[in-house]
Structure 1
C-alpha cells in the first residue's frame, strides 16, 4: 500500500511539474515518500510548514550548487553570498571526507528572474576560511568571520575576485570554533556591530595586541568584568572598537534597528531548555557565569532561582540584565530586525530569528515596558513536524524586502558533529506570487540615495549612508527634508547622517526634544558616539518622561563622575523595573562610594521602608553596602529576604565575612544556615565560632542539599545516620551518590565494607549498589573483595562486578582483566564494562584483548528503517544514560540534559551520537585532562576557573568539585568524549533511539 501511495505522489508531481505552482503534499503523501525522496531538493518545500497562508516559501538554491551554508549576506545587486562548511571541525570528525583546497565563499545569483539561482561564483576558497561563521558585504569589502580571525577581502575592480585579504582582528578563541567570532552587521549610526561566543576570550588587533576599554584595560576574559560571549562595535575600517556587553554563552549574531538598539539571541548549555532572546543594554552583564567567581550556573548559591532557565542566567543576582524572551530548548542562529515593507504589516519592524534546533523561523513582537521590553513568540516557518533536517542557520533581508533563509540541512545540530556533507539550501520567503526582482541601485542623485537609505537590505543601506556622508553639506537640505517625514525609523536613519555634519551636535539636541521617545533614545546614543561633553544636556534628559530615554542617559554616564545626573535618574526609579535598576547599576559602577550615601540621605531616615531604596542598596557595590544589607536583614521579619544575603557575595570579601559574623550575634536562627553556607571557612585554620555553629545546626537543617553542603564544608563527622538515610533513599540518585561520596570521604572504607558484609544478603547487595556508585580506586578495590570471592553468593558477586564501573574504577578493573584474574562467570559483565569504558585507552586495550564487538555489526541503513520498542529503550536509558544525564527530573546532571533531545536530533543524529560520542561533544562538555603536581591525573568537565580554584565535575557526578590551582600542573582539552561507547546490540540501540526520539 505504501509503495502505491508513493507511486501516486511521484505521478502527481510529474503531471503538475510544468504548472506554475506545485501543490503541497498532504501529510499522508509526505509520509509515503522514501527517506531519500524526503531529503531531496524536489520535496524540500513539502517538509517545511509556512504558518501564514499569505506567504510563500521558494527554494532559491540547493545542492549541488552549495553545501552546508553557515551564514549568508545579500549584496546591493540581490546576490546571495554564502559561507560553506564542508570542512567543519575536521580535527574532530576524522571519518568525514574533506576538501584539501578548503571551504568556499559563494556568490549565488538569479540571472533570469525566476526567483531561483542559476549562477554560482566562487569568490574565494581556502583552508583559512574553513567553516567560517560570518559574512558581511559592505561595498567592495567582504568581512569574513572565522575564529581566530576576522578577514577583510577587498574586490577593487568588481570582478568578484578578491584583490586583497587582510586580518582585521585576531586572537578570538580556538581555531574554527563554533563559539568564537560571528558575523558583522551595519548599524544605522555608521558603525559595524559584531559579537563572539564564550570561546572568544578576547578581541585583538591584527598585530596581536588587545583592544582596550575606556579605562585602559584589555578586553579579555581575564579582565573583570569581561567574560564569556561579548558584543562589540567599531568604525567601518575597524578602528575605535568598543566592547558593549558581555557574559553571554554563544550569542550567534547581533542585529541593530534604526534607533541603534541591539537585539540578540543566545544559546544555553546544551539540553537545558534555557535559550533566550535579549535586548542588549550597553555595558550590560548578561549572567551566564557568576560575575565574581565565574562559577558555572549549576553551582549552588543563596537565593538560587526556582527554574533551570532562571538559574542558567543568574537572574536573581544583582548586576544581571533580565532576558527579553525564553525560547527554552534550541540552537539559535541568525537574527535580523525587519524594517522592510514587502511582508505584511505585523512583520514590519519586528525581530525575526532562525533557530536550527527546533527547525523554526520565529518573529518576536515587542513592546516597551518601563526601561525595558516585553515580547512574545510567533512561529513563521516550522520544519519539525515533517522534516527535522531543516536547520536554518541564518536569515537575511534582500533588496526587495523578502527574507532569505540559509539551511545547513543536517540530521543534527550543535556540538561538533555533522551528519550530512552533501546538502544545503537557500530559501526565499515573500508574499505569494511575489517574484524576486532586483534592479541595479542608482547612487548618483540625492533623491535616489535617500530612497536607497530606506532600503531594508544592509548592503544598500551601507552604500547609501557612506555616499550621503561623503557629500557632507551638499546633502544637508535633502536630509533635513527626509528627517521631517513621519516615518519614525526612517527619520532616525536621516538623523544618524545629520549628526555627521559640522554642526551635528545641534541635531542631537533637536532630536532630544522630539515627541517620539525612540528618536530621543537615538539622540542619547548619538551623544555618546559623538563624545559630547555637556552635563547640562544629560541632566535635562535625566528628567525625560520616558524610562527608555533615562536608561540611555544612565549608560551615557558610566565612566563619568556625574552625581547630579545619577541622583536625578535614581529619583525616577520605581521598584519592579529591573531594566531601570540595572541601568542605575551600570551608571554607578565606579562611583558608588559617592552616589549611594547622597541617595540615602535624600531618601531620609526611613529609607528601609522604601522599596526603591532597598532595591538600590541591593544593587550597589560600595564599602558601606555590607553594613546596609545587614540593616535590611535585621529589619525584616525572619526569615529575611534571601536576596540581601546573595547581594553580600558581590561585596568586598572581608566586609562580607564581618557582616555575616555580625549577623550571627544579632540575626534570627532561620538565617544561620545561609550564614554557614556563605561564610569563608578554612578547615586547616578553622573558625571556632563557625565550626561550633555548624555542629549544633547541621542535624536540624531541613534542606538535604544544604545539609550536605554544610557537612562537606565543615567536615562534620557526627551526622552519620542522616547521611546513611540519604544514601539509601531511592527518590534522588544524584543526592544518594553525593551522600555516598561524602560518607566515604569522612568515614573511610571500613564501615562501608562492614555494610557490604551484612549477613542479610539483601542488605549487603543494597550496600554494594549504593556505595559502589562512588568512583574511586579505593572503592573499586573494595568491590574486588566481593566479586573476586569464590565463597560469596552469585548475587553478591554479580552486584559487585556490575558496580565496578566509572572512570577511576575501570582502571582498577582493567588491571585484573589484563592479568586474567576475572572469574569466567563474571567475565561477560567485565567485558561489557571495559569495552564501554569512560577511558578510551581502556576501551582500546579491552577491544584488542576481547575483540571489538561493540563497533562490529552495526547496519546503519537497517537501524534507520527498524522500529524500536520505546518501553524497552526507556529501561536501557535508565541503565546507561541516567548515570550522567538528566531526563526530566531523573538522572545526574553531568552531561547535557536529554529531556528534549528528540526535538533537537533526528533519528540518524541520535544513532551517530551514541556510536561516535566524540564527534558531537557540546561546547563546555569537552574532556579535560587535569594533571596535578603530585602526579595524579583526572579526566573531567571543567565548569569554571577562578583566580584560585578550578571547579570541575567528575564523571557521573552532578555535584561540583573544587581543586586549588596552586596544586595543578596543567589542564589540557582532549579530543575524546567522556561518554563511553556503550556495548549495545543493534536492537538495543534501536530501542534506545526509539525512546530518546519521544523526548520532546
Structure 2
C-alpha cells in the first residue's frame, strides 16, 4: 500500500537538496518521519476476511464521520479544529471526497467539497443523492450540489440551515449524523449538551439537563443553555432530557423524539425493519451498546433533568446499575454494558458480500478500546440479545491506554493509535472503518500533531468487490438502488419508486419474496407510500406468519399517519412479545377511551421479567397511568392477579399515587426476597403522596440492613423535595435521625502523601510476594475496601481486582493511589463555613449533603454549613507508606489478592 505522507516528505527532501549546494561536511542523520498509520498486520479480523488500507493522510485529516455514496466515493468530515485546537486551520474544517478511480481497492483521488470557518469539528455527514447533510452544532446544514460536480460553489449550489439550536459548538456531546430510515424519514441524534430548536412545522423542542461543561481559552461557544430549560415541556406535550434521538421528514418538518436521556450516543443505525441501535459512553466505566426502544428513557439524568445519576445512586447499587438507572421504573434496558469506553460510529450490515451468516451484523466503533465490536442481535422476547465480539481490532488483549479512566496515560505502541471514529458499508458490500489515529481518546483532547487519519476496507479474503452501477431512470435501476447494502444509497431508489406511486406496487411487491429478509422489509415500508393499493398490501402483511414482517407493517403504516387502531387491537393478542411491544409504544399519545382495553390486554400478556416489554407498556400508559392502575387493581381482567409478581411489576412501572398502600405491604413483608422488598421501597420513593412518605419513615424504624439504609437514603434525599409538602423533615428531626441545628460534623482530612516517601513500584516488582503473609497485612486495605467477606464498603471491592489487571498496575494502585483513580470514586472536598474540611465521596447532594469518608463513616451535613464542594484532585486512599507498609508488605498483599 502506498504511504503518501512519507512519500511527500521524501519528495520535499529531494527538492531541498536540488536547491542547495552539498554541505562541506557530512550532515547528521535525519530522524525518521513519524508513523502516521496503523499497519494492517496489527489488525485482527474474522476468519475468511482481510483488511486493507484504502486511504490515509494527507488524503484526509482527523476524520470524525463518513458516508459512502452510490459511486463508492467516501465523504469525510474532519476535526482539525477540535476543542483546544480551535483555529489550527483558520479556514475552518473541511468535507473531503475520496475515490478509488481505478478500482484497485485503494483511494487515489481526494479533494475538498467544502471548507468554511463555520465548520468547527463537525460530527456527522450523510450523502443523500446530491444533498450533503453536515451535522455541526448549532446547525444541521444541507448543501445541495446543484451541478453535481462534487464541489460546493455558493454561486451555483445551495446551502440551507435545515435546523438550528443545538448546543455544544465544538463539543463531542452535541449534534451527530443523519441516517435515512426505511420509512424515508431522516434520523439523527444529539448528546446531552442540550438543544432548543424549532422544526419546519413550527414545533419547538426544549431538551436540557444539569450538564454544564467548562470552557477553554479561545472557546468559540456561546453560553450553555441546557440547565435553563431542563425539565421543560416541548410543544409535543412531553418532557425530554439529556441526549436524544429524533426522526423527521427530509424537509425538516414533523420532528419526533424517539428516545432520550442519553449521555452521548454518537450515532444511530436503523435496520430495514425499523429497529434502532445505538451506543452510549460512560462517566465511570459503563459504556454500552443498546437497542433503542421507541420513545425510551435511557436513564442518565433524573426524569426532570436536574440531577446526575450519581446523585441518585442508592445504597448497594453497582455503578452500571446506578448510572443507567436500571432499578428505576420506566427505564429501558441498558443493553450490553462493557465498561470503560468511548463509542463512536455504528452501522448495521444487511449485505450479501460475506454470505448470509453475516447479515444482521451490528458494528460499533469503540475508540477507547481500539476495536470495532460485532454483534448479531437476535430477537429475545420484546428485546434483543447483544453478544459482543471483537470484529476488528488491534487490541485483543485489551491493554487500554490513553483513555479517561486511566487519566489519559498513553504509550508509544502503534496498536493504541487505532481510534475508530466511524464504520460504514459501501455499495460494493465492503465494510469501511475510519481511524482518527491518536494516542489519546476522550478528555476533549487530541495529541497527534500530524493530523493523520486513515480508512480501512474489510472484504472477504482475496476479493476486490466492484461498485455496481444502475440507471435510476429505469425501474430496474431503482430496485437495484433500493437493494444496496449502503444505507443512504437506498434512499435514491426509494425516492424514485415513491414518486412513481401505484405504478410501482407490482415490482416492489415482488421484493417481498426476496431471499434477503432485509430487502423484503424495505419493500414493506415503501409499499405504505404507494397509494391505496400499496397501503392495502401492507395492511394484509399485518397477518404475515413472520413476526418481524408484522412489526415492519405496523411501523410502516404508523409512519404514513394511517389509522392503525384496528391493527393495534388485532396485534394486542399477538403471540410475539416483540409485536406487542410495538403495539404498546404506539399508544403513547392515544387517549384513555381508545387505549384502555388494549393496554389491559397487553398487561394480561406481560411475560414476567421482560424489562423491554415492561418499559414499552409504561410508554403506552403515558398520561393514563393513574387511571390504568385503578382499572387493573380493580381486577377487571381475571388474568391479572393483584397478588402476583406480574401485577407488582406492572404497578411499579405506573408510579400511581394510589399504589402506595400496595407497595407498603410488600416492603414490610419479610417473606419476600430482598430484591422484591427493595423494588417496593423504590416504588414508594418515586411516589409523591404523603402516604408514601409516612410509609418510608415507618419502614426505616422497623427494618434492618439494606432496607433500613435505603429508606434513610430516600428520606434524606427527598424530605425537602418531593416530600416537602409533608411532615417528613419534622419527623426525622424529632426521631433524632437528623437535626440540622444540632448535628455535629467531624472533619475528615486525607493527608497528602510525601512524594519522597512513596515506595518505588520497581522495588516491589523485584520481590516475591508471600500470600500467607499478605492475608494478615491486608487488614490495612479493609479500612476502605471489601476483601473476601470483610471490610468497609467505601472504595472498590478488591475481590478479583488483581486478576483483572497487570501486577504492575496493582502495585502502583497501592504505592501511589493518585496515579490512577477508579471512575466513580473521584473524591470531593466539602469545605465548611468554619474552614474545616470533609474529604470523601458525596453520595447525596440534596439538603443535607451526605458524605462517606475513610472507613465508611457517613456524615449528614446541612447545606447551609457548606461553603463549597470541590473536586478533591487526588485519591482518597492512603498510600502504602502512609499505612505503615513496606515494599515486601505490598508484594505480599498483591500475592494474597491474586487468590481472591
Alignment of 1:293-372 (within 5 A): 294-299=306-311, 301-302=313-314, 304-305=316-317, 307-372=318-383
Contact 1:48-1:381 at 8 Å conserved across structures: yes
Tell me how far apart the structure 2 counterparts of residues 921 and 202 of structure 1 sit (CA, whole Å): 36
Partner secondary structure for residue 618 of structure 2: helix
Aligned residue in 1 for 2:82: 88
Q: 2:281 aligns with which of 244, 267, 276?
A: 267
**Corresponding position of 1:746:** 744
CA contact (8 A) 2:97 2:110 kept: yes
- Mapped pair 1:48 → 2:43: yes
Q: How far apart, CA to CA, are the structure 1 residues paired with 2:139 and 2:512? A: 39
CA contact 1:512–1:519 (8 Å) conserved in 2 = yes
1:363-382 correspondence to structure 2 within 5 Å: 363-382=374-393
- Report what 1:286 is aligned to: 298
Contact 2:470 2:480 in 1 (8 A): no
1:409 to 437, 441, 445: 437
TM-aligned CA deviation for residue 632 of structure 1: 2.5
Aligned residue among 426, 431, 442 for 1:398: 426
CA distance in 2, matches of 1:637, 1:716: 39
Question: SS at the partner of 1:746?
Answer: coil
Matched, 1:184 2:178: yes
Q: Which residue in the other structure is 2:711 paired with?
A: 675
SS of alignment partner, residue 310 of structure 1:
helix
> Could you list the runs of 5+ residues in structure 1 that have no partner in the other structure?
1-9, 11-33, 696-709, 718-744, 750-770, 774-802, 806-828, 834-866, 981-990
- Aligned partners of 1:135, 1:70: CA distance in 2, in Å? 9
Range moving further from structure 2, 379-388 or 122-131: 379-388
- Whole-Å Cα distance in 1 between the matches of residues 445 and 838 of structure 2? 22
Distance in 2, Cα, partners of 1:484 & 1:542: 26
> Where do residues 764-775 of structure 1 align in structure 2 (5 Å cutoff)?
771-773=748-750
Aligned residue among 222, 227, 231 for 2:245:
231
Q: Secondary structure at the match of 2:574?
A: coil
Higher helix share: 1
CA–CA separation in structure 1 for the residues paired with 2:868 and 2:333: 37
Matches within 5 A, 1:654-673: 654-661=690-697, 663=699, 671-673=707-709
SS in 2 for 1:409: coil
Name which of 482, 488, 495 aligns with 2:524.
495
2:550 matches 1:560 = no
Residue aligning to 2:577: 547
Residues 285 and 691 of structure 1: CA distance in aligned 2, closer, same or farther (over 3 Å) = same
Cα deviation, residue 238, structure 1? 1.5
Unaligned segments of structure 2, at least 5 residues: 1-5, 7-29, 208-226, 234-238, 397-413, 768-777, 876-886, 892-896
**CA drift at 1:602:** 2.8
Within the candidate set 539, 548, 551, 1:518 is matched to 548
What is aligned with 1:983? none
The answer to whether the 8 A contact 2:43-2:392 is kept is yes
Taking only aligned residues, the RMSD between alpha carbons, in angstroms, comes to 5.1
CA contact (8 A) 1:538 1:553 kept: yes
Compute the displacement of 1:959 (Å). 11
* Distance of aligned partners of 1:459 and 1:53 in 2 relative to their CA distance in 1, 3 Å threshold: same
2:75 and 2:282 map into 1 onto residues whose CA distance is 29
Residue 528 of structure 1 and its aligned partner are, at CA, apart by 2.4
Which residue does the alignment assign to 1:13?
none
- Quick one: distance in 2 between partners of 1:921 and 1:100? 38
Deviation of 1:689 after TM superposition, in Å, equals: 4.3
Greater displacement, 472-481 / 332-341:
472-481
**Does residue 388 of structure 1 match 2:411?**
no
Question: Using a 3 Å threshold, how does the CA distance of structure 1 residues 964 and 664 change in structure 2: closer, same or farther?
Answer: closer
The 1:326/1:80 distance shift into structure 2, 3 A limit, reads same
Matched residue, 1:617: 651
Mark the structure with the bigger radius of gyration: 1
1:591 and 2:581 correspond:
no
Look up the match of 1:106: 96
Separation in 2, partners of 1:237, 1:957: 59
Match of 1:728 in 2: none
1:354·1:393 contact (CA, 8 Å) conserved in 2? Answer: yes
Change in 2 beyond 3 A, CA 1:187/1:943: farther
What's the CA shift for 1:536?
2.9
Q: Structure 1 pair 164/960, CA: closer, same or farther in 2 (3 Å)? A: farther
Correspondence for 2:70: 76
Report if the CA contact (8 A) 1:924-1:942 is conserved: no
In the TM superposition, residue 681 of structure 1 has moved relative to its aligned partner by 4.3
Describe the superposition over 1:964-989 as per-residue Cα deviations: whole angstroms up to 9, x where unpaired.
Answer: 99999999x9xx99579xxxxxxxxx
Structure 1 position 481 matched with structure 2 position 515: no
Q: CA deviation at 1:926?
A: 12
**Aligned positions of 1:8-87 closer than 5 A:** 39-41=35-37, 44-50=39-45, 52-87=46-81
How far apart, in 2, do the equivalents of 1:619 and 1:203 lie?
31
1:954 deviation in Å?
Answer: 12
Task: Give the conservation status (yes or no) of the 8 Å contact 2:843–2:852.
Answer: no
CA distance in 2, matches of 1:935, 1:665: 33
Q: Equivalent residue of 1:456, what SS?
A: coil
Residues 1:222 and 2:212 aligned together: no
Separation of aligned partners in 2, 1:333 and 1:148: 20
Contact 1:603 1:613 in 2 (8 A): no
Give the superposition deviation at 1:501: 2.2
CA contact (8 A) 2:524 2:556 kept: no
Cα 1:365–1:477 change in 2 (3 A) is same
Of 77-86 and 123-132, deviating more is: 123-132
State the distance in 1 between where 2:255 and 2:51 align.
Answer: 39
Q: Is the 8 A contact 1:253 1:265 kept in 2?
A: yes
Tell me how far apart the structure 2 counterparts of residues 958 and 194 of structure 1 sit (CA, whole Å): 44
Please report how far the alpha carbon of residue 611 of structure 1 lies from its aligned counterpart in structure 2 after TM superposition.
Answer: 1.7
TM-score (norm 1): 0.67
Partners in 1 of 2:821 and 2:248 — Cα distance? Answer: 33
Q: Deviations over 1:457-506 (max 9, x none)?
A: 12320111111111112212211222344543212111111111221442
In structure 2, relative to structure 1, the CA distance for the partners of 1:346 and 1:483 (3 Å cut) is closer
Q: SS of the counterpart of 1:579?
A: helix
1:485-534 deviation digits (Å, cap 9, x = unpaired)? 45432121111111112214423321201111111111222232222334
Q: How many residues align?
A: 770
Q: Name the CA distance, whole Å, in 2 between partners of 1:203 and 1:659.
A: 43
SS of equivalent residue, structure 1 residue 593: helix
Equivalent residues of 2:101, 2:108 under 8 A apart: yes
Contact 2:353 2:429 survives alignment (8 Å)? yes
Structure 1 CA distance, aligned partners of 2:389 and 2:343?
15
Determine whether 1:117 maps to 2:147.
no
1:203/1:219 contact within 8 Å kept: no
| 1:148 pairs with one of 116, 138, 151 | 138
- What corresponds to 1:466 in structure 2? 495
1:193 aligns with 2:187: yes
Q: Contact (CA 8 Å) 1:296, 1:943: kept in 2 or not? A: no
Contact 1:416 1:922 in 2 (8 A): no
TM-score of the aligned structures, taking structure 2 as reference length = 0.74
> In structure 2, what is the Cα distance between the partners aligned to 1:977 and 1:64?
43
Deviations 1:596-642, CA, capped at 9 Å, x for gaps: 22212235699343121111112122221212212333455276611
2:451 counterpart of 1:419: no
Per the alignment, residue 245 of structure 1 pairs with 259
Moved more, 388-397 or 666-675: 666-675
> Structure 1 residues 968, 61: closer, same or farther in 2, change over 3 A?
farther
Cα distance in 2 between the residues matched to 1:46 and 1:349 = 27
SS of residue paired to 1:458: coil
Mapped pair 1:164 → 2:154: no
Contact 2:309 2:324 in 1 (8 A): yes
SS of 1:166's equivalent in the other structure is: strand
What's the secondary structure of 2:309's corresponding residue? coil
Residues 935 and 190 of structure 1: is their aligned pair in 2 closer, same or farther, counting only changes over 3 Å?
farther
Contact 1:201/1:220 (CA < 8 Å) preserved in 2? no
CA contact (8 A) 2:375 2:388 kept: yes
1:234–1:883 CA distance, 2 compared to 1 (3 A): farther
